[in-house]
DNA sequence: GCCAAATGTCACATTTTTTCACAAAATTCT
DNA sequence: AGAATTTTGTGAAAAAATGTGACATTTGGC
């Protein structure tokens, strides 16, 4: 087996597809499927089989000719690649409706993430419990995030507050941010940001309607 | 002024950036900025000015040499391009925590979208009011969506139910789906789907951590 | 009137991403 | 055992997207 190609950098778009592969593999594992070909996996995901094989080849050789991929094995490998062999603690900033929905969302824990800190700046909310967590004052963000060694945060505050929160998170040592506020954040180059904005997604689709 | 280039198809990736431009322009308009150059807009969005000019040139000539773009004018033009000169009624399927957060989210209305139907299949929830809307039984989806002439839907149900819901939405005439369930949906080629899954986004970022 | 600024466009160059095609390997069938 | 089939991994080709540089042109300011 060839060693992983550490020399050349893996394109970000390839990395972005790995979680989708993993999601499908998790599903297959639950179904009890032991082996799957790139063609069948591709069909489920609505992409081409060549793309899957090419993507995976950046990291190693995980399949068997004539057979395909062992679901459990590939699942494990992708988890390793994505650093999902541990549980990541996540800080959530903003305990509004969205924050509540996120804290109660059961989908994180099984996939390697645990919201372990929740912040808000509303005095009415601070101190309240939500899904077993006490809402902390935003003023203690830096302190607590440092203390917990947290590297990932979710921003669920209004757009007007998002940049300030971001600056504080970055100062506290956060290196990955999932941002639900509809605003482009300014961050240092070593901090990763992913955006989730339903409105821009809907607007994208209306282009094709009528 | 040249006519819009209707002959060649506009790349989807270009369309996907228009909502971001619009979002920035809305912000600028609120700030009272009347004019902006592609360079300044680019800086705010973290992309290149050439890209903005090239993207916009697919649709017409909206700027003024020596000056830049009139914020209000460009805003109006992008809204026209994206078919945002009307309000789109949206059906929401799933009245759980996420569904509640979406219904209460104030960000839709100002941007051209109004959730006007909410469905769930839980008898306990059906008939309840949520932000002025009565939760309807999933069994009435086809009927009510048809009746309201709704073309856009948001799926906020568990992954296990998402494909069934999708099939029903498509049968009811929905042509654009914003899917929060962590599963790739099968739809006819004329139906557009956008995916929102915080877990895959987080997993994407953990690749780069430690 | 002249200078500086900024767009729109063209033609390429460059980079990135996807697709193609096929040898090699593993499995199944007869 | 040998032939046929399946499927991977991967170079090579193709396609798509982005970046660059030049430049005519228009506008606004001095």
Q: Within this chain, do residues B73 and B27 fall inside the same structural domain, yes or no? A: yes
The reply to whether A168 falls in a domain is yes
Cβ atoms of residues B92 and B153 within 8 Å: yes
The reply to whether A177 falls in a domain is yes
The reply to whether A196 falls in a domain is yes
Q: Within this chain, do residues B28 and B92 fall inside the same structural domain, yes or no? A: no
- Provide the CB-side half-sphere exposure for A119 (13 A, CA): 25
Provide the terminal-to-terminal Cα distance of chain B, rounded to the nearest Å.
53
Q: Within this chain, do residues B190 and B111 fall inside the same structural domain, yes or no? A: yes
Q: Within this chain, do residues B34 and B129 fall inside the same structural domain, yes or no? A: no
Q: Within this chain, do residues B174 and B112 fall inside the same structural domain, yes or no? A: yes
Residues B163-186 have a mean pLDDT of: 97
Range of the domain at B185: 88-201
- Measure B139 CA to nearest chain A CA, in Å: 25
Total domains in the fold of chain A: 2
Q: Within this chain, do residues A154 and A55 fall inside the same structural domain, yes or no? A: no
The reply to whether B3 falls in a domain is no
Cβ atoms of residues A22 and A75 within 8 Å: yes
Strand C, nucleotides < 7 Å from a protein CB: these are 4-9, 16-21, 24-27
- Measure B175 CA to nearest chain A CA, in Å: 8
Residue A132's Cβ-count burial label (10 Å; 0-12, 13-18, 19+) is exposed
Last residue of some domain: B58, B81, B104? B81
The reply to whether B48 falls in a domain is yes
The reply to whether B127 falls in a domain is yes
Enter the tokens of residue B120.
Answer: 């769930």
Residues B102-117 have a mean pLDDT of: 96
Q: Within this chain, do residues B174 and B191 fall inside the same structural domain, yes or no? A: yes
Residues A199-205 have a mean pLDDT of: 97
Q: Within this chain, do residues A67 and A144 fall inside the same structural domain, yes or no? A: no
Residue B4 clears pLDDT 80, i.e. is over it: no
Whole-model pTM?
A: 0.93
The reply to whether residue A112 touches residue B206, judged by beta carbons under 8 angstroms, is yes
Cα–Cα separations (whole angstroms), residue B184 to A29, A60, A82, A174, B166: 16, 25, 20, 30, 11
- Is residue A64's beta carbon less than 7 angstroms from any atom in nucleic acid strand C? yes
**DSSP 8-state assignment for residue B186:** P
Sequence-ordered list of residues with C-beta below 8 angstroms from that of B145, at least 6 positions apart, any chain = B91, B117, B153, B169, B172, B173, B174
CA A43 to chain centre: 23
The reply to whether residue A83 touches residue B206, judged by beta carbons under 8 angstroms, is yes
Q: Within this chain, do residues A61 and A146 fall inside the same structural domain, yes or no? A: no
| % of chain A beyond a pLDDT of 90 | 95
Residue with the larger pLDDT of the pair B94 and B41: B94
CATH of the domain at A197: 3.40.50.720
Q: Within this chain, do residues B142 and B172 fall inside the same structural domain, yes or no? A: yes
Q: Within this chain, do residues A175 and A138 fall inside the same structural domain, yes or no? A: yes
Q: Which residues lie across from B193 on neighbouring strands?
A: B177
Q: Kindly identify which residue of chain B lies nearest to residue A190, measuring between CA atoms.
A: B208
Strand C contacts (CB < 7 A) among B residues 50-79? 50, 53-54, 56-57, 61-69
The reply to whether B146 falls in a domain is yes
Q: What are phi and psi of B88, to 5 degrees?
A: -100, 125
pLDDT reported for residue A194: 97
- Name the residue among B23, B102, B203 with its Cβ closest to that of A200: B23
pLDDT reported for residue B64: 87
Residue A76 clears pLDDT 70, i.e. is over it: yes
The reply to whether A70 falls in a domain is yes
The reply to whether residue A204 touches residue B154, judged by beta carbons under 8 angstroms, is no
CB atoms within 10 A of CB A103: 20
CATH of the domain at A42: 1.10.10.10
Q: Within this chain, do residues B101 and B184 fall inside the same structural domain, yes or no? A: yes
Among A22, A99, A205, A210, the strongest candidate for a mutation testing the B interface, having the largest count of B CBs within 10 A, is A205
Q: What is the pLDDT of residues A2-45, one digit of tens each?
A: 333 334 589 999 999 999 999 999 999 999 999 999 999 999 99
The reply to whether residue A207 touches residue B82, judged by beta carbons under 8 angstroms, is yes
Cα–Cα separations (whole angstroms), residue A8 to A5, A11, A58, A63: 6, 9, 9, 22
């Amino acid at each position: 087996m060839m060693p992983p190609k550490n020399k050349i950098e893996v394109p970000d778009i390839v990395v972005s597809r790995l979680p989708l592969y993993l999601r499908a593999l998790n599903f297959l594992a639950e179904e009890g499927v032991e082996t799957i070909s790139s063609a069948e996996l591709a069909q489920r995901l609505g992409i081409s089989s060549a793309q899957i094989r090419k993507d995976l080849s950046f990291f190693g050789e995980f399949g068997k000719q004539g057979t395909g991929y062992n679901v459990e094995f590939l699942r494990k490998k992708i988890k390793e690649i994505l650093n999902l062999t541990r549980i990541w603690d996540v800080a959530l900033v903003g305990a509004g409706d969205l924050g509540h929905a996120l804290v109660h969302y059961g989908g994180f824990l099984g996939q390697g993430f645990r919201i372990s800190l929740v912040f808000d700046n509303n005095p009415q909310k601070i101190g309240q419990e939500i899904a077993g967590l006490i809402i902390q004052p935003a003023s203690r963000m830096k302190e607590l995030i440092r203390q917990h060694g947290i590297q990932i945060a979710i921003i669920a505050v209004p757009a007007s507050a998002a940049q300030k929160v971001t600056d504080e998170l970055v100062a506290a040592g956060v290196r990955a941010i999932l941002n639900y506020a509809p605003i482009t954040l300014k961050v240092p180059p070593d901090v990763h940001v992913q955006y989730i904005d339903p409105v821009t997604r809907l607007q994208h689709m209306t282009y094709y309607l009528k």
